[in-house]
Every structure is written in C-alpha cells, then in structure tokens.
Amino acid sequence: MSLSRRDLFVTAGAAALGGLVAPAVVRGQHEGHTMPQPHPQPSSSPSAPSRSTSPDGDTSPRDRRYTPVHTPNGWTLPYRMNGGVKEFHLVAEEIEHEFAPGTIAKCWGYNGTTPGPTIEAVEGDRVRIFVTNRLGEHTSMHWHGILLPNGMDGVGGLTQPQIKPGETFVYEYTLRQHGTHMYHPHADEMVQMALGMMGMFIIHPRDGEPDPVDRDYAILLHNWAMHPGTWRPDPSIMQDFDLWTMNSKVFPAIDALVAASGERVRVRLGNLSMWNHPIHMHGVQFHVTGSDGGRWPKALWRPETTEIVGVGQTRDLEFVAVPGDWAFHCHMSHHTMNAMGHDVPNPIGVDQSGVEDRIRKMLPGYVGMGRAGMAEHSEHIAMGLAGPPNTLPMMLGEGPFGPLEMGGMFTVIKVRDGIARDSHADPGWYRHADGTVARRVSTDRDYGAPVRRGRTLDTTPPPPAKGHEGHDMSGS
Ligand SMILES: [Cu+2]
C-alpha cells in the first residue's frame, strides 16, 4: 500500500505530538462517552493519535479527509490510532432507552445507546474493532455490506464461535470500499435486533468526492413492539409494531435536520427494521446518490421525492437546502403514528351517544371518540387524557399552527439563511414572509361553486355562523 502525501503529513504530525499527548482517552461527538481502555495490542506497536482541538474542546483524533457525519440523537464512536490501525471498541449491553419523554424501555444496544455509536473511517484504513459482550447470552457482530475476509464476517456458528457473555472478540480488516453501511449481531438475531442492537458504519472515499456535501446525516430506521403498558420490546412480533423510529426515537423527540440555505445535504438512511420504508421529503427533489455500494456514478443518480429504503438496505439522499420547515417522514401512514389499538372496532360514522354512559359504568373515564375521524385524539391529549402507563399517545407534537398529529418516523428539515456550518442547534419554527401561508377565506361550507361528481354525503356539521372572510375566488 502506498502512502499519499497527506498520509505522510498526518504521520509526521502524530510523531510531533507524540511526546505531548496523554495516552488515548478520546471523546466522541457527545459529552460523556469515554473510550474504554486499556486494550491489548495484537500486532502493532502503540503510537499517539493525530489530534486537533475543536472549538468545544473536543480532543478526538480528527481525520481531515472528510466532513464528519452527524447522527441525529446519536453520536460517533471515538477511535484511537495504534500503529497505523484505527481502533474502536463496542460493548453489547442492556440499556435504558427513552423513545420520547413518556416512554422508557429496557433495550439492548452498544456503549450505552441504541442505535450504537456511528463508526466512521476512510477507504484504505485498517480498522481493529473490539466487541465486548456484557449481555446474558452470546452474540456476534456482522459488518453489513462491508467487504472483508470471511472469518471477519461475524456470523456466529458459520464464520466464528459465538462471543460468550463476558468475552471480548477482535475483528480486524482493511476497508476496500466506501459507502453507507451498518453493523448488527448475527446471533439470536430476531431478539437482539428487536431489542435495539444495531449501528451505522460510514466509510468515506479515499480521494474525496466530486460535488462534496456540506452536511452529512446518518439515520437508522427501526421498529419496536413496545406494547402499551410494557417496559421491554417484544421480539416475537412480525408486523404489528407499536413504535417506528429514526435513530431509535419517535417524533417529536427526533432531532430536526438543520441546514443553511443553499448547502448541499446528504441524508444516509439504513433500515434494520422488519418493514420497507418509503421515505418522503418535502420541499425539494433529492437525488438518490448511493447506498452500501458506495456513492454511485452520477449517471445512476435519479431525482425523487420518495425513496423506498428496503429491509437491510441503505440509501443516500442528496439535495440543495431550500429555506423552510420541511417534513421528512416515512410515507406508510401507520409509521408516523405511535402505539394504537389494532383490534378496536372502526368508530368512524358511529353514533356513540348513550353508549358512553353505559361503558363508563364498567370503565370509568371512558371517552367514545372517532365518529368524525381520529383528529380529535390530539385534542384529547392536549386536555390531559392519559393512556396506559409508559405509553406514548398515537399522535404527538405541537407546531406553530397547532398539533402536528404525527409520531414515529417523522422529523423536520429546518433550513435557514446563514446557519453556521457546524451548527446543528434547532433554529425554532420557520417565519414565513407575509402572504405566503395558506389561509382561511370562508367558514361557509357552501362557499364558491366547486365542481363535484359522484354521490356526496354530508358529514360537516353546519357552522354556527355564516360569513366570508377575505377574498372570493372570482379574483379581485
Ligand atoms: Cu415506514
């Protein structure tokens, strides 16, 4: 393998700093995550990492060859350099996880979180990844989509012995590709993935990329059978999941994706759930530009506004940011809801007057709902009506114009002029220019003379008072 001039520069820099820096205890994207140590050093002699100091005092080694990925609600795994090898350490363990305020569960993850921390490296890097098992059963680690020697592939029983509780295994290989990848166990997979064991593994191209992005987001899609009133995901469920998550959070707990107007943004999506997710972006046409096959040749890029991210697949979406608050969500409408009763009768169009009183004798506090649709659910939530313990309402979230009536896989891309390149702070709600928001022009259901066909049925209650506001449609 030949060294580039930049490699030589980094090596020289590391040597120069070698006498000054303490042994590697490095910090990641978020506060409080400390690299476990010390490590055995299987084949190479120790060397000090190359370091830089960011404005917030982060002293992680920084590989200057790429724009770091930002994992909303998550973090990036620190590494240390050891004789030219990037060393990472993952710990499989039971954790306490909050999907959104109101629902906490015992999940399984890595290094304290689900998803586990994002691993980032560069094509050509040699990586050494320690995996410690602090679960009560064995596990293994599969590097999903990554080209490696067969014995590093992490399929328990097939390519390696299982990692028993308390054991640490080491994986070591050279990255021969770039792209958006994932990691997950290949041992008791149904249970371990259902409880949250997964993470993203981003490999940047060695020689940079044409049309480089200004911002790079990584989001892992998942589903959870967190049945109402329970505190642990149920791994036996195949289809009727309760929570649908981006980086193991539901709206409105999912971080907004922030960008400055005109920036080129990439959103890397991975799917380790049990459903395909048609992910839809408002406001722009994005290009689908890559996957675990790497960043595709430009001739293969295609403009879309919805892209299915299939189970086990990754997709990269790139776009130029346009000012506004733009919804970004799965288009399976149940995937933007939280837990609901799947076995209740359909109440739409059902007159429940009289029934409510009779049911209340058996179920105090019962409220019949849904005659005109489910929208009143978010009003009930606002009134303080509570469901079972540890259970999020089906719809959540308050916007500048009222309840958003969303949950699950939904977040907002917030684009503003002049946001600093490294800022991911939520800028608040978009302030629309005067006259650019859809507005009410009438409260009369008989307003105007719209063309209608078919057999119409009347479900709108007559308004208390009639009258027009603003303009009619005949022009002014
Ligand atoms: Cu979905």
Dump pLDDT digits (tens) for 310-328.
999 999 999 999 999 999 9
- CA of 401 from ligand 1 middle (Å) equals 25
Q: Is 79 exposed, middle or buried (0-12, 13-18, 19+ CB in 10 A)?
A: buried
Structure confidence at residue 368 (pLDDT): 80
Which of 363-377, 381-395, 425-439: highest mean pLDDT?
A: 425-439
Map 152-221 to HEC letters.
Answer: HCCCECCCECCECCCCEEEEEEECCCCEEEEEECCCCHHHHHHCCCCEEEEEECCCCCCCCCCEEEEEEE
Structure confidence at residue 459 (pLDDT): 81
- CA of 359 from ligand 1 middle (Å) equals 35
- CA of 71 from ligand 1 middle (Å) equals 19
Which range is least confidently modeled, 23-32, 106-115, 385-394, 406-415?
23-32
Count CB neighbours of 416 within 10 A: 17
For the stretch 159-215, pLDDT in tens is 999 999 999 999 999 999 999 999 999 999 999 999 999 999 999 999 999 899 999
- CA of 249 from ligand 1 middle (Å) equals 14
- CA of 308 from ligand 1 middle (Å) equals 9
Average pLDDT in the 337-358 region? Answer: 83
Which range is least confidently modeled, 27-41, 78-92, 303-317?
27-41
To the nearest 10°, report the CA torsion of 303, 404, 461, 366. Answer: 130
For the stretch 249-278, pLDDT in tens is 999 999 999 999 999 999 999 999 999 999
- CA of 428 from ligand 1 middle (Å) equals 26
Q: Is 74 exposed, middle or buried (0-12, 13-18, 19+ CB in 10 A)?
A: buried
- CA of 149 from ligand 1 middle (Å) equals 34
- CA of 167 from ligand 1 middle (Å) equals 36
Phi, psi (deg, nearest 5) at residue 46: -70, 150
Residues linked to residue 220 through DSSP beta bridges, in sequence order? 270
Tokens of 192: 């371990």
Best CA proximity match to 99, nearest among 208, 205, 254: 254
- CA of 278 from ligand 1 middle (Å) equals 6
Which of 58-67, 84-93, 374-383: highest mean pLDDT?
A: 84-93
For tokens 């989001």, what's the residue?
A: 219
- CA of 277 from ligand 1 middle (Å) equals 4
Distant-in-sequence, close-in-space partners of 472: CB < 8 Å, separation ≥ 6: 441, 442, 447, 448
Long-range Cβ contact pairs of 442-447 (< 8 A, separation 24 or more): 442/467, 442/468, 442/469, 442/472, 443/467, 443/468, 443/469, 444/468, 447/472
- CA of 462 from ligand 1 middle (Å) equals 37
- Residue 1 pLDDT level (bands cut at 50, 70, 90): very low
- CA of 133 from ligand 1 middle (Å) equals 31
HSE, side-chain direction, 13 A CA sphere, residue 387: 22
Structure confidence at residue 412 (pLDDT): 98
Tokens of 271: 């799917």
- Residue 463 pLDDT level (bands cut at 50, 70, 90): low
- CA of 275 from ligand 1 middle (Å) equals 7
- CA of 309 from ligand 1 middle (Å) equals 9
- CA of 247 from ligand 1 middle (Å) equals 13
- CA of 195 from ligand 1 middle (Å) equals 18
Whether the per-residue pLDDT at 359 is higher than 60: the answer is yes
Whether the per-residue pLDDT at 135 is higher than 70: the answer is yes
Name the average pLDDT for the chain. Answer: 86
- CA of 155 from ligand 1 middle (Å) equals 27
Best CA proximity match to 256, nearest among 346, 174, 328, 152: 328
Average pLDDT in the 86-98 region? Answer: 98
- CA of 59 from ligand 1 middle (Å) equals 38
DSSP code, position 67: P
- Residue 464 pLDDT level (bands cut at 50, 70, 90): low
80-98 per-residue burial string, b: 16 or more CB within 10 A, e: under 16: bbbebbbbbbbbbbebebe
Whether the per-residue pLDDT at 26 is higher than 80: the answer is no
Q: Is 307 exposed, middle or buried (0-12, 13-18, 19+ CB in 10 A)?
A: buried
Query: In this prediction, what percent of the chain has a pLDDT beyond 90?
Result: 68
pTM, two decimal places: 0.84
- CA of 225 from ligand 1 middle (Å) equals 14
Structure confidence at residue 327 (pLDDT): 98
Torsion 139-110-337-307 (CA) sign:
negative
- CA of 103 from ligand 1 middle (Å) equals 20
Q: How far apart are CA 270 and CA 310, in angstroms?
A: 9
